[in-house]
Copies of this chain bind each other. A is one copy, B any other.
Amino acid sequence: MDLEDGYVDISAMEYFFNPRSIALIGVSKDIRKPSGRSLNALLQWNYKGKLYPINPNYTEIHGVKCYPSLLEISGDVEMVIISIPAQSVLEALQQCVVKRVRAVVLFTSGFSEVGPEGKALQEQVAQLSQKNNLRILGPNCVGLVNLSNSVMASFANIVDLKPVYPMSLGFVTQSGAFGTLIFAQAVQAGVGFSSFVSVGNEADTEFSDFLSYLLTTPETRVIGGYLEGAKNGAKFRKAAQNALKLKKPILIMKVGRTQSGARAASSHTGALAGDDKIYDAFFRQMGIIRIETLAELTSFVIVHRCGRMPEGNNIGILSISGGAGVMMADKCESLGLNVPEFTGETRRILEAYLPPFGSAKNPVDLTSAVVAEPEMLGHCLRALVADDNIHMITVAMGFMPHSAPILAKDLIEIYQSTIKPIVLTTYNISSSEVIAKAIKSIEDAGMPVLRDHLHSIQAMSNLARYSAKVRRTADIKTDRQEIKPDKEAEKLIKNPDALSEYEAKKVLDGYGIPVTREVLATSADMAVESARQIGYPVALKIQSAQITHKTEAGGIKLNVVSDAEVRAGFEEVISNAKKYMPEAKIQGVLVQEMLKDGIEVIIGTTDDPVFGQVIMFGLGGIFVEALKDVSFRIAPLSRVDAQELVSEIKGYSVLTGIRGKPPVDMDTLVDVILRVSRLVTDHRDAIKELDINPLMLFANGAKVADALIIKK
């Protein structure tokens, strides 16, 4: 499936998750073998639909009637699980088509992952599926499970695990083995799954299809994914946009961040690794939470399932240990949460209840005095809950047998009296029944409880960042209405010919982007006249669509200050260019105003194989070259996207005014970026690369000093 086609009907995915009947081709009596394992799990967890084991050697397996072939079954079969060798798969799929099967889970390996022959076979599978509208998961996958109705279409050992409630996490993985490990560890951490899908080689259905489907299931409240590379950026974007609208967070562990990781990811499932920096920008643009560790996933799910969202970025920290408080405050700030100092009433209350050696500052150090007087926690927590400047609270407490019931009672009561997110961190090393019971009662009351201080902070920070993105979502539109490109620009870009700088600037100008005053002179006389009109000093630049490196060609003269210099310069750049590339078609010499005292920035676009038109922004010159200080967004951009694009670079302060310089005209900069976004979106099939280098920014306005557009 390539970029252009392949939007599968999401409603058809239903048959993977809620089939009324399942046949198993290649089923075994041995429950250690893939299809045997799946049948066993379907029976064990009491799947309610009809089951049709298929194996010519048996008449029944585990008491279920066994059929010699799919076509011998009289009733409808909605889903088929296949675990026969690769060479027999096509024939089985043809039977599925005949039987009007809706969904196939294809465990079998030996396809694109083994080389050219397997790849060819997989191509046949893909064609069969698309021609016959038969949805296939796999091949080379460990299958899927829907925990809510015991559709155990997987041979992974996760089918043996006891389900955990609430079942809220839908998980999609490009690695079967690693996904299985994540599932097992998450369950152990107390996270309940709604569904789990291993997408394998993605011959037909792919990662993003399952994201889109899972969003439609009410039990799935948050989605997790393990990703090596997306096949189709547009589909991925659509799924992410829906998720944001539905306020269902997506958390993705994306590997391939580094060179060796990307190399390994490509060789693993044959996925196109793509540029990780662009994935990173995509995730930020779409509010997808990029996670690095399993703990980040599980702690987020636990904190998120309480259903509360912080209304701002300010966190209050209450801790029995001063050290833990400091560590948490550090982590908060490094993750972008504020730890504001308390004022007024809050401070007064804290000072009244805390011992003199406790700290009424944020983080609040309850000190070991809270062991003797556990009510202290409740008093302090109530003060933080009442403080409008505090948007979320983290409590780190140790429980002792004598204090546990009091702490639990206060925590539950306060938690239920507010809608602010509160997370409790506690690490119980005792074997006391009283403590275990107290903690369980807090969890049962809906309050998130974690065991690790830093995981709590990380989860709160992800929740706050996600919450802010949801609030901004209303702004995410593409501002199409404001931009009216002129006819000449359209013509230049649609024409298949290469564009010179002069023409590229005409295109930009046609999209309302300010460019330098300039004239294309075709004679020395015309050059002189133009220079006088523009005003000295001017720049002279050879114009030829074939000469993209004008400096190398000796085709540029800067700071030309007189008629005589213009005349001489005109002849010189033409003569240099002719020597440099005799076959080049020379349009003339561009006479251009010289810009002074601006700040140089670069706006570029590239055509990413996964995401399409991508816009890059950076400071000019040494910043880009020495520090690679650039940011990205996927077109089309909203105004918020453009603002984020600009503010994300490390050298942002250069634009807001340092060394006594005034800030640059940010509105114009954002406007130029939006116009570039519109241009490359309108002409995504024509433009391969666009490079504005530099755009000069002033306190008022901006001007493109040089531009290049390369067509596909």
List A residues at the B interface (Cβ < 8 Å).
109-110, 113-115, 118, 140, 157, 161, 173-179, 181, 184-185, 188, 226, 228, 253, 255-261, 263-265, 267-269, 292-294, 320-327, 329-330, 332-334, 338-339, 356-357, 359, 361-363, 365, 368, 398, 427, 429-430, 452, 454, 622, 625-627, 629, 650-651, 653-654, 658-659
Contact = CB atoms under 8 A, between A and B. Distances in A.
Contacts of A653: 625-626
Contacts of A175: 321-324, 326
Nearest to A178: B323
Contacts of A115: 356-357
Given A118-B357, A269-B322, 14 more contacts: A157-B430, A177-B323, A178-B323, A181-B398, A256-B326, A260-B329, A260-B339, A261-B333, A263-B329, A292-B454, A294-B452, A622-B654, A626-B651, A626-B658
A228 B324 CA distance: 11
Contacts of A325: 264, 268
A226 B323 contact: yes
B181 A267 contact: no
B365 A268 contact: yes
A478 to B, nearest CB: 31
A321 B177 contact: yes
A258 B226 CA distance: 32
Given A113-B357, A267-B359, A429-B184, A323 B622 contact: no
Contacts of A429: 157, 161, 184, 188
Nearest to A364: B264
Contacts of A174: 323
Contacts of A264: 322, 325-326, 329, 339, 359, 361-363, 365
B626 A627 contact: no
Identical subunits present: 2
A118 B356 CA distance: 11
Contact of A658 (B176, B185, B625): B625
Contacts of A368: 177
Nearest to A325: B264
A608 to B, nearest CB: 20
Contacts of A334: 257-258
A455 B14 CA distance: 39
B256 A330 contact: yes
Nearest to A333: B258
A357 B650 CA distance: 43
Contacts of A625: 653, 658-659
Nearest to A113: B357
A662 B651 CA distance: 25
Given A181-B427, A622-B659, A627-B651, A359 B268 contact: yes
B157 A327 contact: no
A253 B181 contact: no
B268 A330 contact: no
A139 to B, nearest CB: 11
Contacts of A294: 452
A619 to B, nearest CB: 9
Contacts of A356: 114-115
B329 A258 contact: yes
Contacts of A157: 429-430
A114 B261 contact: no
A329 B255 CA distance: 9
Nearest to A175: B323
A92 to B, nearest CB: 20
A115 B175 CA distance: 58
Contact of A265 (B118, B184, B326, B650): B326
A535 to B, nearest CB: 26
A653 B628 CA distance: 11
A173 B334 CA distance: 23
28 contacts: A110-B357, A115-B356, A118-B357, A140-B357, A157-B430, A161-B429, A173-B323, A175-B323, A175-B326, A176-B323, A178-B322, A178-B323, A181-B321, A181-B398, A181-B427, A184-B427, A226-B323, A260-B338, A261-B333, A264-B322, A264-B325, A264-B361, A268-B322, A268-B326, A268-B365, A626-B651, A626-B658, A627-B627
Nearest to A360: B267
Contacts of A626: 651, 653-654, 658
A228 B654 contact: no
A356 B118 CA distance: 11
Contacts of A357: 109-110, 113-115, 118, 140
A293 B324 contact: no
Q: Lowest 7 A-B CB distances belong to which pairs?
A: A175-B323, A178-B323, A261-B330, A177-B321, A258-B333, A268-B322, A260-B339
